[in-house]
Structure 1
């Protein structure tokens, strides 16, 4: 009986996602296009706001409670969001409840109708990992956009965690932040892996917890490795506290 419920629950989500992304998304993009004829920046802000709303609606439509602890910083400086990676749902989770950030994504996503336009409005950068020269050019574009104030998100583990525990951060995964002295906003996610597990197609109902930590300044670290290990310890501590049911403030959603 539980498997049958999960099947229809997942089907409901897929149908809802199709309607929201393809149909409603097309309307948003059309309105954004019309606004862009008069003011491109207002157009971008309108579409990005709708993407942020979509991130939140993903979990409301699923009936999943998202508890957010901490507040994103109110500063003019740029920063990179660094999070652990538990599920494919981490992306709408961060967009909706932390920040509508840009992504460093595979070039294949740029060919998906609808998704490619949303990536464009978020000012994401697409990377051809099989081409060293183009990858280098893409990284330069990331740096340029960071200097322009675009917030990016990084998942330094490089893959999703099956059991929710934080995996080792890949070597040099925070090199851009360290080299260009861009502050890091660590994020701890717990529970997303129970909603949609790695290598699973079925969605389950389970609450999700997010901890927004204090900004980390790369200037106070002697190397990228030390910075990376520190940020991992911050993210891991948040995940471990959630796993044990420990938090020191009320979460909102």
Structure 2
């Protein structure tokens, strides 16, 4: 219970202070939009690290050297918990937008931070809007911004991952950016497994070797969602031994 209280109090103070920080960032953005985005990423990364610390998450990171730092990438991962974003966003080496569900737009201050960092908001019930989001993500990658997407489409608490949506991979197919498989184990043990309490938990986050579409066989290119699904599922099963 004490961890939940600490996290709640920190988030309350942070979101309250964010009102004034956002006003300052609006001024910065009028003169230098890239600086606004970079500052936003640093502030949110710090806040997420604080949340992870207060929650007692003990994170083991594997393969971080696999993430290219000189170009935008498409992070593709399995989705276990709200803490997937907390734990991974604080580690990105460059500007990165996450594709999130549209309901987050109802949280005014949080949604503004996400907009500052090029996040996109997906309506899973609207196919046309979903296509527009993917097209926007393609434009962002072409402009040097990495994108993170969870192709299962929703949080999944089963050891067997849901099928990956093929459309998620259009971002890499249309831009040629590398795909970085991102596998997370046990993040659901922090919060979702025992709502509303937060408990100290060991979590493993592994970044796989980047996948370049032009290096794949025609069959793997055609079924890229299955190719990536198999890699992440195999990594997930392997890392269960580390929990």
2:171 aligned with 1:182, yes or no?
A: no
Normalised by the length of structure 1, the TM-score is 0.82
2:117 aligned with 1:145, yes or no?
A: no
2:81 aligned with 1:87, yes or no?
A: yes
Asked whether the 8 Å contact 2:156–2:162 carries over to 1, the reply is: no
Normalised by the length of structure 2, the TM-score is 0.85
Question: What corresponds to 1:97 in structure 2?
Answer: 91
2:200 aligned with 1:205, yes or no?
A: yes
Structure 1: stretches of 5+ with no match in the other structure: 1-6, 247-253
**Pairing partner for 2:131 from 112, 128, 136:** 136
Question: What corresponds to 1:235 in structure 2?
Answer: 232
Asked whether the 8 Å contact 2:75–2:149 carries over to 1, the reply is: yes
Change (3 A) 1:155 1:19: same
SS of alignment partner, residue 90 of structure 2: helix
Instruction: Note the alpha carbon deviations across 1:172-227, whole angstroms, 9 max, x for none.
Output: 15431453133211111112121122683222111211111110112214255532
Asked whether the 8 Å contact 1:80–1:152 carries over to 2, the reply is: yes
Distance (whole Å) between structure 2 residues aligned to residue 132 and residue 85 of structure 1: 21
More helix by share: 2
Distance (whole Å) between structure 2 residues aligned to residue 137 and residue 118 of structure 1: 21
**Pairing partner for 2:211 from 210, 216, 219:** 216
Report the CA distance between 1:153 and its aligned residue.
Answer: 0.9
**Pairing partner for 1:39 from 32, 35, 40:** 32
Structure 2: stretches of 5+ with no match in the other structure: none
Q: How does 1:41-120 map to 2 (within 5 A)?
A: 41-72=34-65, 73-98=67-92, 101-120=96-115
